[in-house]
Chain A
Amino acid sequence: MLSVSVRHRFGAFTLDASFEAPPGITVLFGRSGSGKSTIVDAAAGLLAPEAGRIAVDGRLLFDAAAGVNLPPHRRRLGYVFQEGRLFPHLSVRRNLLYGRWFAPRRAPRAEFGRVVEMLGIGPLLDRRPGALSGGEKQRVAIGRALLASPRLILADEPLAALDEARKAEILPYFERLRDEAAAPILYVSHSAAEVARLATTVVALQDGRVIRQGPAAEVLGDPSVAPTGVRGVGAVLEARVAAHHADGLSELDAAGDRLFLPRVPQPVGAALRIRIAAQEVMLSLQAPQGISALNILPGAVEAIHDGQGPGTIVSVRTRAGVVLARVTRRSAEALALAPGLPVHAIVKTVAIAPEDVGGEAHAPRQEPPR
């Protein structure tokens, strides 16, 4: 458990954020300038906030009032940077083992072979970072952080410098990390898709303040929380793979409702998280007939959130969970949408992008009673 409470001022900008991060990935979610990276740098000891307290599993890293400020090398971190920051003069193997040198002998050790296998970097071990692709570099950076026997893993937009294909290559490794690492992971992102796939807990930040915090489905399903703007709004559903069809589609079971997606790599029975962007959802009062869209989820309007522009976001309670739809205010008035009204949410299969589908979703682990 990581607990953070920091206050810091840069000129006109004030960061004032407090949150607790349970095991798993806690995503700091917000647009650039919201203070995400400052929080991570404070946790790493690269920046000393004016006031606050940071502790991991009861071990104090920073406390302005008590005058405690451990230097980074004594914080037992694994930091995955946006640009990898691999040591150019060392082989991949020696990069991976760098942190182990400095970790206490008694520290629980991630097994080298297992980490190498998990990240698929066995063939790269004797190369130098200069000869690796962007995606390979980032995989090595993840391994290097893991092998330092960290008590806290930090990742500052580790995918932001990669193109879409490389992102898709790396995301599954973070999913595995989330499911296997014992240390809490603090992960900075401004991408709703990444949050939906990875987050155990989301801390939404805006202008240096925490505007919402909680499980991913809950925070992303609340349209009043849109730290990256309306385009980032989208609900997260959890579903199981029911079947793979010969026409390239996968059929999913979301609490009884059927969803069709472009083929997913997970096997039948696997649990998935799917993010459905609000702007890709249509609403219909009647069950639509003769329509090409394959995903039709019956439900009822739960709430309507007017924004500033011509659009409005309607949350629809379906059996699978809350689905958000971004429609124009004109349409909302024409359909006389109001809480309680039965509607059908319509989603085109191809509107669900592969980066919005993640494997092995699970609810936040319960903390043992104290």
Chain B
Amino acid sequence: MTPLPGPEALEALALSLKVSAWATAGSLPLALLAAHALARWRFPGRGLLNGLVHLPLVLPPVVTGWLLLSLFGTRGPVGALLAEVGIVFAFRWTGAALAAAVMAFPLMVRAIRLSIEAVDPKLEQAAGTLGASRPWVFATVTLPLILPGIVAGMVLAFAKAMGEFGATITFVSNIPGETRTLPSAIYAFLQTPGGESQALVLAGISVAVAMGALLISELVAVRVAARVRGG
């Protein structure tokens, strides 16, 4: 018989959903900007930006987590500054969201960048000749055309955030109710005698969330693409 998720497991699931939602929503504007810059602009340091964006994808997550801790910890250069205005990341769920956002960032940028590169710049040029300034061209032509890419990027990022473990546990530890996300909870259950059944439940939920996310992204992408391409 399938065991039911206990209160700790439910808490971890709720926290993970919150952390992932914030991580996805919070990194979207920056990802759009980075994707647009990489796809369309030629500027010095473009290679560097590209490397920086992709770094979390290739670095060991524990290194990313440690770098985050050094930068955003209460004594870190950025963390100390932010602490003065009341924003604290270290050992808080916000830190978990930051770690998840950083780790998911390359995936989101990649998906959006590919969709921007698929938009014919000639369409944007045409909008310009019809009187639209650059921000308007972006809002009325580019953005609607890259919507499928944005949706795909967000879903991928959300799924990645749900599964983020290494950077999170290094940066914000594994505090029940604060930073114990789904993967951290699974890890904790596996360390506890008799915790396997709860770990199994959470693993099942992880699989369901991941599959659901992929399904939704496919459905939305197909629908949006049909709406955008016309017919």
Contact = CB atoms under 8 A, between A and B. Distances in A.
A364 interface: no
Given A85-B122, A89-B145, A129 B131 contact: no
B132 A73 contact: yes
B230 interface: yes
Contacts of A244: none
Contact of B122 (A77, A81, A99, A102): A81
Interface magnitude class on chain A: 20 to 34
Interface of B: 120, 122-123, 125-134, 136-137, 140-141, 144-145, 227-231
Interface of A: 44-46, 71-79, 81, 83, 85, 87-89, 98-99, 101-103, 127-131, 144-145, 148, 154
B230 A99 contact: no
Residue picked from B120, B127, B130, B145, most chain A C-beta under 10 Å = B130
A131 B229 CA distance: 10
B131 A128 contact: no
Contact of A99 (B130, B137, B227): B130
A87 B134 CA distance: 16
A130 B131 contact: no
B122 A83 contact: yes
Contact of B230 (A79, A83, A98, A128): A128
Contacts of A128: 229-231
A88 B125 contact: no
Contacts of B120: 85
B128 A72 contact: yes
Contact of A77 (B129, B227, B231): B129
A358 B102 CA distance: 64
Given A45-B129, A77-B129, 13 more contacts: A73-B132, A73-B134, A79-B126, A85-B122, A85-B123, A89-B228, A99-B130, A99-B131, A101-B132, A102-B136, A130-B229, A130-B230, A154-B129
Contact of A89 (B134, B136, B227): B227
Given A73-B132, A73-B133, A88 B230 contact: yes
A127 B230 CA distance: 8
B231 A85 contact: no
9 contacts: A46-B129, A73-B128, A77-B129, A77-B131, A87-B141, A88-B145, A98-B130, A98-B132, A102-B130
B132 to A, nearest CB: 6
Contacts of B140: 98
Given A72-B125, A72-B128, A98-B127, A88 B133 contact: no
B224 to A, nearest CB: 10
B130 to A, nearest CB: 4
Contacts of A89: 141, 144-145, 227-230
Given A73-B128, A79-B129, A89-B145, A129 B122 contact: no
